[in-house]
Amino acid sequence: MVRIRLRRTGKTKQPSYRVVVADARSPRDGRFIEIIGHYNPVRQPKVLEIKADRARYWLGVGAQPSDTVVRLLKQVHVLDSEGNLMPASTEPVEA
């Protein structure tokens, strides 16, 4: 099974994360298939950038997002409030 999850990077007590597509059996910071974004909760304001087209592709072929990634995908309008895939809009959306 393929999962969309966070991969921790950064120094001790200063975490930043990459949003990656990885096999569910690989370790958290191990092998991955593709990086589709990054998230930095330490900076103010928090930085969240996700390639929406790639996220939609992976969700379309059956990748399962983790709970945290579901929350982040809702913030960038890839998923709606019920967790369903939203259609791609032609206008760029400010996050």
Q: What is the DSSP string of 15-72?
A: EEEEEEEEETTS-TTS--SEEEEEEESSSSSPEEEE-HHHHHHHHHTTPEEPHHHHHH
The H-or-E segment that residue 74 falls in is helix 67-75
Q: Encode pLDDT of 18-60 as tens digits.
A: 999 999 999 998 999 999 999 999 999 999 999 999 999 999 9
Buried b (16+ CB within 10 A) or exposed e, 10-33: eeeeeebbbbbbbeeeeeeeeebe
**pLDDT band at 90, cuts 50/70/90?**
low
pLDDT-based confidence at residue 67 (cuts at 50, 70, 90): very high
Label residue 2 by pLDDT band (50, 70, 90).
Answer: very high
pLDDT for 83: 83
- Say if residues 17 and 27 touch (Cβ distance below 8 Å): no
Rounded distance between C-alpha atoms, residue 33 and residue 76, angstroms: 22
- The amino acid that residue 32 corresponds to is F
Predicted TM-score (pTM) of this structure: 0.85
